[in-house]
């Protein structure tokens, strides 16, 4: 295997869905890299392409969709070219995913234990009795009490938080290098959400996997992530460390997003919403995807898609406003 710095290196990814109303370009040239053991957050509204990006990496897109361009390098190898058999080996063993709704992602007619064993048997050469043992081990690891009893239970017998723990146990049963968490706590209550986030952090310390956290919740992102990508309309608006994004946002969308959420300090102030309605992917603007909702939009924004402009070592933003700023600085 070749030398690699990044465990996952996504380059210029394009994903398209064919629908009756035309082609939907859900992901338009997204690039990011993930170092081993790192937590990357992908944040955006519904329809921003954050989930589709994650699904594209796993190649679990719906039948009418597919990767139409770009590379997905896992340890230096382009898995976008892999066939379905190779991908089956990749999923679970190298990279796992947990979904938003733990009720619909567990099979209601099989016991928890059976479903956990299935994952283990499929990806490792353990025997059934070893797999059984592994299932109990994993449940203990994710903090499910009385695991010996739980393996015989069915999903409907467990609470939402417990089901999400089982999902995490299943995802980590084969020790993947990457865990993709697609809105893992959105369906859960805050106190249960805190439990699950804590669990994910402690498991990351123990097992050392990298996490891609896909969510719309800026609070969760602030708590969990080292690096953050902000997406809008299938493109990356801004990327940087958590501090860059929260304290020095450089894209008008990120700024708007941060202004529009209630925090502990702005209770008495009025929220500043982002005007307009979320983007329609069937009818994408020619220039910057955010420009119809942007207060600062300029002529260039209408016609030309902004490139990512490097502001700092790690901090990049795709907004023409920054060019204007740079230009001002140079002339001053």
Partner 1 sequence: MANEYLVEVSHLKQYFPIRSGFKTIPLKAVDDVSFNIRPGETLGLVGESGCGKTTVGRTLLRLYKPTDGTVTFNGTEVTDKNIHALRKEMQMVFQDPYSSLNPRMTVEDIIGEPLDVHKLYSTRAERHEKVMELMETVGLNADHATRYAHEFSGGQRQRIGIARALAVDPKFIVCDEPVSALDVSIQAQVVNMFEDLQKQRGMAYLFIAHDLLVVRHISNRIAVMYLGHMMEMADSKELMDHPIHPYTESLLSAVPIPDPKTARSSQRIVLEGDVPSPLNMPTGCPFRTRCKYATDQCAAQRPELRDRGNGHFVACWNR
Q: Residue 1 or residue 190: which is nearer to partner 1 going by CB?
A: 190
Residues 119, 138 contacting (CB under 8 angstroms):
no
Q: Which of 69, 278, 323, 325 binds partner 1 (CB under 8 A)?
A: 278
For 100-154, the three-class secondary structure string (H helix, E strand, C coil) is CCCCCCCCCCCCHHHHHHHHHHHHCCCCHHHHHHHHHHHHHHCCCCCHHHHCCCC
What is the smallest separation between the CB atom of 242 and partner 1, expressed in angstroms? 4
What is the smallest separation between the CB atom of 268 and partner 1, expressed in angstroms? 9
195: contact with partner 1 by CB under 8 A: yes
Distance of CA 221 to the CA centre of its chain: 10
- Work out the angle at residue 156's Cα, subtended by the Cα atoms of residues 153 and 158, and round it to the nearest 5 degrees: 65
Q: Which of residues 284-323 bind partner 1 (CB under 8 A)?
A: none
User: What string marks each residue from 237 to 276 as x (binds partner 1 by CB under 8 A) or -?
Assistant: -----xx--xx--------xxxxxxxxx-xx--xxxxxx-
Q: Residue 69 or residue 278: which is nearer to partner 1 going by CB?
A: 278
What is the smallest separation between the CB atom of 19 and partner 1, expressed in angstroms? 17
Q: Residue 264 or residue 332: which is nearer to partner 1 going by CB?
A: 264
d(CA 139, CA 169): 6
Q: Which of 40, 80, 180, 218 binds partner 1 (CB under 8 A)?
A: 218
d(CA 175, CA 15): 28
User: What string marks each residue from 197 to 216 as x (binds partner 1 by CB under 8 A) or -?
Assistant: xx-----------------x
Q: Residue 242 or residue 323: which is nearer to partner 1 going by CB?
A: 242
**CA-derived radius of gyration, the chain:** 21
Interface segment toward partner 1; rule CB under 8 A; list 4-12, 78-86, 127-135, 155-163:
155-163
What is the smallest separation between the CB atom of 225 and partner 1, expressed in angstroms? 9
C-alpha distance from residue 198 to each of 54, 141, 192, 295, 299 (Å): 22, 13, 10, 38, 46
d(CA 141, CA 131): 15
Q: How many CA atoms lie within 13 A of 290 on its CB side?
A: 29
Q: Residue 134 or residue 293: which is nearer to partner 1 going by CB?
A: 293
Q: Residue 129 or residue 265: which is nearer to partner 1 going by CB?
A: 265
Q: Which of residues 171-190 bind partner 1 (CB under 8 A)?
A: 189-190
d(CA 225, CA 201): 10
Q: Which residues of 90-113 are buried (b: 16+ CB within 10 A; e: fewer)?
A: bbbbbbbbbbbbbeebbeeeebbb
Q: Which of 191, 205, 283, 331 binds partner 1 (CB under 8 A)?
A: 191
d(CA 177, CA 96): 8
192: contact with partner 1 by CB under 8 A: yes
What is the smallest separation between the CB atom of 45 and partner 1, expressed in angstroms? 4
Q: What SS3 class is residue 287?
A: coil
Q: Residue 72 or residue 288: which is nearer to partner 1 going by CB?
A: 288
Strands 210-215 vs 178-182: parallel, antiparallel or unpaired: parallel
Q: Residue 112 or residue 274: which is nearer to partner 1 going by CB?
A: 274
User: What string marks each residue from 95 to 134 as x (binds partner 1 by CB under 8 A) or -?
Assistant: ----------------------------------------
What is the smallest separation between the CB atom of 62 and partner 1, expressed in angstroms? 21
Where on the chain is the footprint of partner 1 (CB under 8 A)? 45-46, 159, 161-162, 189-195, 197-198, 216-223, 242-243, 246-247, 256-264, 266-267, 270-275, 277-278
């Amino acid at each position: 295997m070749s030398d690699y710095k990044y465990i996952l290196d996504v380059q210029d990814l394009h994903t398209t869905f064919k629908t009756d109303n035309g082609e939907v370009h859900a992901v338009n040239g997204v690039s990011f890299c993930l170092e081993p053991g790192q937590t990357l957050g992908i944040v955006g509204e519904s329809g921003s392409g954050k989930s589709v990006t994650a699904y594209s990496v796993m190649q679990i897109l719906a039948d009418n969709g597919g990767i139409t361009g770009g590379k997905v390098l896992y340890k230096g190898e382009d898995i976008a070219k892999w066939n379905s058999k190779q991908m089956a080996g990749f999923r679970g063993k190298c990279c796992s995913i947990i979904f938003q709704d733990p009720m619909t992602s567990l099979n209601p007619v099989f016991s928890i234990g059976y479903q956990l064993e299935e994952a283990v048997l499929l990806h490792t050469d353990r025997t059934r009795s070893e797999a059984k043992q592994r299932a109990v081990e994993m449940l203990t690891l994710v903090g499910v009490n009385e695991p010996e009893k739980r393996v015989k239970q069915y999903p409907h017998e467990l609470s939402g938080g417990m089901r999400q723990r089982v999902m995490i146990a299943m995802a980590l049963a084969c020790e993947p290098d990457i865990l993709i968490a697609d809105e893992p706590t959105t369906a859960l209550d805050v106190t249960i959400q805190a439990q699950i986030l804590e669990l994910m952090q402690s498991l990351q310390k123990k097992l050392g996997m990298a996490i891609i956290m896909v969510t719309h919740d800026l609070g969760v992102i602030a708590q969990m992530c080292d690096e953050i990508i902000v997406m809008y309309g299938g493109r990356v608006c801004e990327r940087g460390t958590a501090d860059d994004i929260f304290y020095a946002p450089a894209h008008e969308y990120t700024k708007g997003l941060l202004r529009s959420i209630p925090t502990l300090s702005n209770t008495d102030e009025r929220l500043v919403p982002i005007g307009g309605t979320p983007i329609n992917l069937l009818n994408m603007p020619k220039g910057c995807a955010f420009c119809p909702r942007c207060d600062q939009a300029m002529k260039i924004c209408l016609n030309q898609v902004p490139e990512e402009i490097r502001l700092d070592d790690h901090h990049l933003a795709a907004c023409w406003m920054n060019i204007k700023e740079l230009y001002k600085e140079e002339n001053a």
